Structure 1
Amino acid sequence: MGLPRTFVGFSSTDRHCYELMGAWKKNSRFDFNFADCQLNMAINSEDEDYIKRKCRERIDMAGTFALLIGKDTRSKHKYVRWEIQVAIEKGCHLIGINLDGSRSLNPDLCPAVMQGVGAVFVPYSPAIIAHALANPTNSERGDYSYSQAIYKALGY
């Protein structure tokens, strides 16, 4: 089976966390990998329709949408909320990655559009994110988090 094709959404203030995920992929100490469908470089345009069209093309390539959820993610309406909506419409597996270390949904930080739609929520850590990428578990409705047994098996 191939690598999970994944589009990672994030607030611009959390870009460094996305870049660290790329470093995890390159580091042999981590068993972490995915086919990154994110844009290869920032789009040099102010045209919102053009930017959204390019992002939609990349989300359409992905089977999984992973959202880095930081302190200001909930308030990002122009692109982050829109990306989530496109991923939901496409039927992507949804992973909420909590930068605050939470193992479940944090409704104070997570955009409302990502709540109650079958996403699994995990902390920002390579082993559990890799597990979520390799084992899609979207519930039909509601929010999902892994059991303590899964974390223990992964060495947490």
Structure 2
Amino acid sequence: MGLPRTFIGFSSTDIHYYRLMLAWKEHDHIDFNFVNCQLSQEINSHDEAYIKRKCRERIDMAGTFAVLIGADTRSKHKYVRWEMEVALEKKCRIIGINLDGLRSVVDARCPPIIRNIGAVFVPFSPKIVAHALENWTRQPDNDWHYKDEIYKRLGYK
């Protein structure tokens, strides 16, 4: 099976986490990989319609939408929420990646648009994110997380 084509949504305040994921992808000693559907370079524009059109093109290429969930993700409506709307419209697999390290949905931080829609929630860590990318299966509408035995099998305590 090929690597999952993934678009990663994140608040601009969390860009360093996205860059860290790219570093995971580039290092052989970290078992983590995906086909990155992000824009190849930042869009140097203030034209919201143009930016959204370019992002939609990339989300349309992806089968998976992973969103980095940080302190302000819930309140980001202009682009982050819009990206989630596009991903849901396209019926992408949704993975919520908690930057606070928690293993399940965090009500105070999670954008309501991805609540109870069959998304899986994991902490920001390469092995479990890789597991979610490679093993995600559509679930009934709810919020999902992996059981402790999956974490133990992957080497987590």
Fold similarity call, TM over 0.5 = yes
TM-score, reference length from structure 2: 0.98
- Once the two structures are superposed, the pairs formed by residues 32-47 of structure 1 within 5 Å of their partners are 32-47=32-47
Residues 47-78 of structure 1: per-residue CA shift (max 9 Å, x gap)? 11110000000000000000000000001000
Q: Does 1:19 align with 2:19?
A: yes
Q: Which amino acid aligns with 2:49?
A: D
Distance 2:47 2:123 in 1: 34
Query: Is 1:120–1:138's contact at 8 Å kept on the other side of the alignment?
Result: no
Give the aligned partner of residue 151 of structure 1.
151
Identity %: 66
Helix, strand or coil at the partner of 1:6: strand
Q: Which amino acid aligns with 1:52?
A: K
CA RMSD, 1 decimal: 0.6
Distance 2:24 2:113 in 1: 28
Give the drift of 1:36: 0.2
Give the drift of 1:137: 2.6
Give the drift of 1:107: 1.0
Number of residues of Structure 1 aligned to a counterpart in Structure 2? 156
Distance 1:114 1:11 in 2: 15
Regions of 4+ moved over 4 Å: none
Unaligned runs of 5+ in 1: none
Give the aligned partner of residue 134 of structure 2.
134
TM-score, reference length from structure 1: 0.98
Answer with 44-53 or 135-144: which moved more: 135-144
Distance 1:32 1:125 in 2: 10
Give the drift of 1:140: 2.2
Residues 104-133 of structure 1: per-residue CA shift (max 9 Å, x gap)? 000100111011111000000000000000
